[in-house]
Amino acid sequence: MTEIIVVTSGKGGVGKTTTSASMACGLARRGKRVAVIDFDIGLRNLDLIMGCERRVVYDFVNVINGDCTLKQALIKDKRLETLHVLAASQTRDKDALTEDGVRRVLDELIADAFDYIICDSPAGIEKGAHLAMYFADRAVVVVNPEISSVRDSDRILGLLASKTHRSANGNGGVKEHLLLTRYNPRRVANGEMLSVEDVKEILGLDVIGVVPESPDVLAASNAGVPVILSETSDAAVAYQDAVARLLGEELPLRFLEEPKRGFFARMFGG
């Protein structure tokens, strides 16, 4: 049975697209058939992070408008056979998306027996974000551990509880997960950043993952490689853990404390 997962947040720049790409790759590496859709009409960043921007011929809006078939628009990932990308349009605005059009695309992916559909939402609460979450079964709410990001995400939780297909039809609502990005234990200890427990207490959600602040994320994005595929990166390990928890595995959270420095680092300030 297909599960639709929206990756969302109230604030821009928190790592939604990085999370969408990494979680899609993580699920595909486990043998799942995955389609990841960019709902950020007019900007289109998912294909850059996935490294397939030069292969985009048709996009999400083309499919909705009937300019092409869904099969023509889906881009098959070169690294993972069961992963497909549906890019956003760069030349249209968010009004090009319609509820009926989005429903038709999702229904076709479900009929094609995809295990997971990842909806990469734009930030905020406008039309594109609403349609990205409307048909979701689950939501991964991406939050930086700072108060404005947490506050804006609280608004998103309100919309997930009241403005989705599941909530409107009394189907139990969207199952919500919290994922913290750019977490820095040293800044938490110095009082410059909220702790995991602080964020959990404010939003009332359990945490599916904690991704440490890392230059590997930007480097991977610039290279067109989802960071989860960077095998030696702590951020990759954090995303792998998040995917495992999404699939029901019980794992302790990592990267909550600053790594202990060795003897020479303490002696010479490294």
The rounded distance, in Å, linking the Cα atoms of 248 and 53 is 33
SS3 162: helix
The alpha carbon of 136 is separated from its chain's Cα centroid by a whole number of angstroms, namely 13
Share of the chain above pLDDT 90, in %: 81
Q: What is the mean pLDDT of residues 98-117?
A: 97
Q: Which residues contact 176 (CB under 8 A, 6 or more apart)?
A: 138, 139, 141, 157, 160, 205
Look at the alpha carbons of 80, 55, 19, 100 in this order and tell me if their dihedral is positive or negative.
Answer: negative
Please state at what angle helix 127-134 crosses helix 147-162, rounded to 10 degrees: 60
Sheet holding 34-38, edge to edge: 75-76, 83-86, 34-38, 116-120, 3-8, 138-143, 175-183, 207-212
Strands 3-8 and 116-120: parallel
Residue 263: per-residue pLDDT: 46
Residue 261: per-residue pLDDT: 57
Position 260 confidence tier, pLDDT thresholds 50, 70, 90: low
Q: What is the pTM of this model?
A: 0.93
The rounded distance, in Å, linking the Cα atoms of 254 and 210 is 7
> pLDDT tens-digit profile of 2-57?
999 999 998 889 999 999 999 999 999 999 999 999 999 988 899 999 999 999 99
Q: How far is CA 119 from CA 23, 63, 204, in A?
A: 11, 16, 23
> pLDDT tens-digit profile of 144-156?
999 999 999 998 9
Q: What is the mean pLDDT of residues 114-120?
A: 98
The alpha carbon of 213 is separated from its chain's Cα centroid by a whole number of angstroms, namely 16
Residue 269: per-residue pLDDT: 58
SS3 132: helix
